[in-house]
Chain A
Amino acid sequence: AQSVTQLDSQVPVFEEAPVELRCNYSSSVSVYLFWYVQYPNQGLQLLLKYLSGSTLVKGINGFEAEFNKSQTSFHLRKPSVHISDTAEYFCAVRAAGTALIFGKGTTLSVSS
């Protein structure tokens, strides 16, 4: 079975500062990795995904993530955040034929 751990439940940051949201996963088989964002009172929107190939994945809204197999991590980064990036971010993992498993989420709060 797979599992996901998001290491920070809340990350406060000032506008235009860089941010990293950390995610570690556990699995005995190859997995696909995802980051989703959830704005208040909305569903989840896919930010980016890692399926295979290049370990650096670029997504929407200027976000990127790096897959590190040896450390079983998939950290999300953005070089300069905006107020509008304030939201909850979920890391998720899925092995072929299995359900999508989510981490507990990280609340990113961007202030001016």
Chain B
Amino acid sequence: KAGVTQTPRYLIKTRGQQVTLSCSPISGHRSVSWYQQTPGQGLQFLFEYFSETQRNKGNFPGRFSGRQFSNSRSEMNVSTLELGDSALYLCASSPLGDRGTYNEQFFGPGTRLTVL
């Protein structure tokens, strides 16, 4: 079974631009989560989607948004990029969606975003 795939793997943008990152979950997984990883802040939760609905949201400004499609693929968008948005963006998928159960998350390799 193929793992979580993220495209593109590397991206260079300039301040003020916007960017869209894509995540394809493991086949059959319906939950997708996004994380930002930086040397200073570590791994920070951005948002979680299940069946096209945002279920949890981290403490990020409104410039960060996401969505999930009916095939469970997910995209996240960052508008008006700032230098501090340079980071590794990780996507993770989970097989289950029941809020009352534990969800093991399987991570993709990430997208390395550099903002100049």
Contact = CB atoms under 8 A, between A and B. Distances in A.
Interface of A: 32, 36, 41-46, 49, 51, 90, 94, 96-105
Given A44-B90, A104-B42, A96 B33 contact: no
B90 A96 contact: no
Interface stretch (B64-72, B74-82, B101-109): B101-109
Given A96-B102, A99-B33, A99-B58, 12 more contacts: A43-B107, A51-B102, A90-B42, A96-B99, A97-B99, A97-B100, A98-B56, A99-B45, A99-B48, A101-B45, A102-B43, A105-B43
B25 interface: no
Contacts, number: 51
A99 B56 CA distance: 7
A85 B71 CA distance: 36
B107 A44 contact: yes
A interface secondary structure, majority? loop
A65 to B, nearest CB: 15
A2 to B, nearest CB: 11
Given A96-B101, A100-B105, A103-B42, A43 B90 contact: yes
B4 interface: yes
Contact of A42 (B102, B106, B109): B109
Contacts of B45: 99-102
A50 to B, nearest CB: 10
Nearest to B110: A43
A109 B107 CA distance: 23
A33 to B, nearest CB: 10
B33 A100 contact: yes
Contacts of B43: 90, 102, 105
A111 to B, nearest CB: 22
Contacts of B56: 98-99
B100 A96 contact: yes
A89 B4 CA distance: 20
